C-alpha cells in the first residue's frame, strides 16, 4: 500500500528518475567515470574500468540494501556490492581516492539534469496549449477585473498570452539554473583533493568530461547547496504560475460568474451529497500542491549553511524535497495542460457579465473622449465619477445618465456617446499584443 500520493495518485514519468534503482545507476555511472579517469592517468590497469563497468550492470538493488542493513551507509553498500561483482583484481580499484559525496553529489547533478529535461518538456507542452488559447481568443471580449471589481474590457487572449509569456520566462530560469546545477566534484573529504596524488584536478576534469558536467571550481565535502536551492526555487516559481492559472479558473467558474469551467466528465461526481455540484477540484489541487513546492524551498535554503566543511543535516531532508518537488511540479504541469486543453467557455455568461454593470465599465473611455474634445481631464473624471454613482444607485444605464448631462452634451453628440459604449471596440491593441507574444 502506498504511503505517499507521489507513488500513485500524482505519479508521473518523473518517478523513474528518483526511484532507488535509478539513483543506484547514477552512482555507478560516476564510479565508472572515476575508474576511466584513473586508467587514463596510469593509476590503475587499463582493463579495470571495463571490468568495473561490466560489474555495474550486474549489481542488484536488493544486494545493496542487504549490505546497507549491516553497514548503515548507503554509498558504501553500493561500493561493496559493485566490488563483489568485479572480476579479477578490478574490484580493488572501485571508489579509489573518492569520498561518498564525490559520487553522490555528482550523481545528483546527473539526476537533476534528467529531471529538468522532463520539466522542460512538459513546460513546453503547456506553452503550446497556452499559445493556442491566446491566439484563438485574442478577440474574445470579456470584462477585466481589478480588486475583484469590474474594470474595463479585455480579452481572454490577453489572459492566456500573459500566462504564456510567464511560462517562457520560467523556461529561461530553468535553463539558467540547469547550467549551475550541472556541476560535479571529485575533490575528497574536505575539497583539497589530497587523496589523488597531485592529480586531483586532472581526475576531476576527466570525470566531468565523461559525464558531460562542469567541475566545481571550489568545493568542500559537498557541492554547495545554493545550486540545489536555486533549482527548487525555479520549480516553485513554475508552481506559482500554475497556481495563478488555476486560481483564475476557479474564480471564473464560480456559479455567479461561470465564464469558463474545467473539464467535467459525464460520469464525474462533484459532491457526495450535492448532486448538482461541478467543483473545480483539479484547479484547487494545483493551488494546494503549489504550497508544497514553496515549503520545500525553505528547507533547501536552510541546507545552504552547513557547518564547517559540511555536516549531515541536509542529507535526510533532501531524500524528501528533491523527488517531491520534481514529481509534484511535473504532475502539476501535466494536469494544468489537461485542464486547459479541455477548458469549457460559456459565451453567453461572458457577454452577460460584460454588460452587467449597465455600461459603467466604459466610464474610462468616455472620460478620455471628453478630454480629447477639450475638457480638462480631471473635470471629465469628476463628471463621469458622479454619473457612474448615479447609474449604480438608480440602476440606470450609464449611457442614459450621461445623455441627460448638459455638460457632456456640449462635447459629445448622442451618436458619438453611443458609439463609445461598444465593448468590442474598446480592447485597445489586445489582438496585436497577443499576436506579438505568440511569435516567441
Provide mean pLDDT across the span 182-209: 97
Provide mean pLDDT across the span 398-408: 96
| C-alpha span between 280 and 252 (Å, rounded) | 10
pLDDT band at 414 (very low <50, low <70, confident <90, very high): very high
Per-residue pLDDT tens digits for 211-226? 999 999 999 999 999 9
Residue 1: the pLDDT is 66
Per-residue pLDDT tens digits for 118-163? 999 999 999 999 999 999 999 999 999 999 999 999 999 999 999 9
CATH number of 360-420: 1.10.40.30
Provide mean pLDDT across the span 244-261: 97
**Res 2 pLDDT > 90:** no
Q: What is the DSSP string of 220-284?
A: SSS--THHHHHHHHHHHHHHHHHHHHHHHHHHHTSTTT-SEE----TT--S-SS-TT----HHHH
Which CATH architecture fits 99-197+213-263+277-357+428-440? Up-down Bundle (1.20)
Instruction: Pick the closest to residue 185 from 205, 156, 163 (CA basis).
Output: 205
Alpha helices (H) along 156-225: 156-181, 200-211
Per-residue pLDDT tens digits for 276-331? 889 999 999 999 999 999 999 999 999 999 999 999 999 999 999 999 999 999 99
Out of 185-189, 269-273, 276-280, 350-354, pick the least confident: 269-273
Per-residue pLDDT tens digits for 426-435? 999 999 999 9
3 touches 34 (CB < 8 A)? no
| C-alpha span between 337 and 333 (Å, rounded) | 6
Per-residue pLDDT tens digits for 9-30? 999 999 999 999 999 999 999 9
In the chain, the percentage of residues whose pLDDT exceeds 90 is 96
Per-residue pLDDT tens digits for 329-380? 999 999 999 999 999 999 999 999 999 999 999 999 999 999 999 999 999 9
Task: Show which residues are catalytic.
Answer: 147, 271
pLDDT band at 98 (very low <50, low <70, confident <90, very high): very high
Instruction: Pick the closest to residue 56 from 36, 75, 84, 76 (CA basis).
Output: 84
Per-residue pLDDT tens digits for 371-400? 999 999 999 999 999 999 999 999 999 999
Residue 3: the pLDDT is 87
Per-residue pLDDT tens digits for 227-240? 999 999 999 999 99
Name residue, grid cell 518538456.
121
| C-alpha span between 165 and 438 (Å, rounded) | 8
Domain ranges of the chain: 13-96, 99-197+213-263+277-357+428-440, 360-420
Which CATH architecture fits 13-96? Orthogonal Bundle (1.10)
Amino acid at each position: 500500500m502506498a504511503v505517499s500520493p507521489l507513488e500513485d495518485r500524482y505519479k508521473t514519468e518523473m518517478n523513474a528518475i528518483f526511484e532507488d534503482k535509478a539513483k543506484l545507476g547514477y552512482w555507478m555511472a560516476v564510479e565508472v567515470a572515476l575508474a576511466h579517469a584513473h586508467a587514463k592517468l596510469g593509476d590503475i590497469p587499463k582493463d579495470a574500468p571495463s571490468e568495473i563497468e561490466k560489474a555495474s550492470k550486474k549489481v542488484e538493488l536488493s544486494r545493496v540494501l542487504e549490505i546497507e542493513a549491516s553497514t548503515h551507509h548507503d554509498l558504501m553498500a553500493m561500493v561493496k556490492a559493485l566490488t563483489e561483482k568485479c572480476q579479477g583484481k578490478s574490484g580493488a580499484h572501485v571508489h579509489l581516492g573518492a569520498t561518498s559525496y564525490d559520487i553522490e553529489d555528482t550523481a545528483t547533478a546527473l539526476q537533476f539534469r534528467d529531471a529538468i529535461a522532463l520539466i522542460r518538456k512538459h513546460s513546453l507542452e503547456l506553452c503550446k496549449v497556452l499559445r493556442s488559447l491566446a491566439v484563438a481568443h485574442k478577440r474574445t471580449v470579456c470584462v477585466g477585473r481589478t480588486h475583484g471589481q469590474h474594470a474595463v474590457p479585455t480579452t481572454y487572449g490577453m489572459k492566456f498570452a500573459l500566462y504564456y509569456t510567464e511560462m517562457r520566462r520560467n523556461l529561461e530560469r530553468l535553463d539558467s539554473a540547469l547550467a549551475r546545477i550541472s556541476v560535479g566534484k571529485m575533490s575528497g573529504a574536505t575539497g583539497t583533493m589530497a587523496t589523488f596524488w597531485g592529480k586531483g584536478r586532472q581526475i576531476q576534469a576527466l570525470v566531468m568530461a565523461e559525464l558531460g558536467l562542469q567541475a566545481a571550481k571550489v568545493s568542500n565535502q559537498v557541492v554547495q547547496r545554493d545550486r540545489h536551492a536555486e533549482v527548487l526555487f525555479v520549480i516553485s516559481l513554475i508552481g506559482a504560475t500554475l497556481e495563478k492559472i488555476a486560481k483564475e479558473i476557479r474564480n471564473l467558474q464560480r456559479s455567479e460568474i461561470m465564464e469558463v469551467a474545467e473539464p467535467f466528465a459525464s460520469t464525474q461526481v462533484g459532491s457526495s451529497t450535492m448532486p448538482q455540484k461541478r467543483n473545480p477540484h483539479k484547479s484547487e489541487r494545483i493551488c494546494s500542491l503549489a504550497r508544497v513546492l514553496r515549503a520545500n524551498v525553505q528547507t533547501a535554503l536552510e541546507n545552504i549553511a552547513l557547518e564547517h566543511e559540511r555536516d549531515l543535516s541536509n542529507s535526510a531532508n533532501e531524500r524528501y524535497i528533491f523527488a517531491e518537488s520534481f514529481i509534484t511540479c511535473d504532475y502539476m504541469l501535466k494536469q494544468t495542460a489537461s485542464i486547459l486543453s479541455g477548458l469549457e467557455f460559456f459565451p453567453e455568461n461572458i457577454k452577460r457579465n460584460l454588460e452587467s454593470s449597465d455600461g459603467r465599465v466604459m466610464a474610462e473611455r468616455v472620460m478620455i473622449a471628453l478630454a480629447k474634445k477639450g475638457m480638462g481631464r480631471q473635470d471629465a473624471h469628476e463628471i463621469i465619477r458622479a454619473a457612474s454613482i448615479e447609474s449604480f444607485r438608480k440602476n440606470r444605464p450609464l449611457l442614459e445618465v450621461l445623455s441627460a448631462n448638459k455638460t457632456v452634451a456640449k462635447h459629445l453628440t448622442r451618436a458619438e456617446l453611443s458609439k463609445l459604449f461598444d465593448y468590442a471596440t474598446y480592447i485597445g491593441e489586445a489582438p496585436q499584443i497577443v499576436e506579438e507574444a505568440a511569435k516567441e
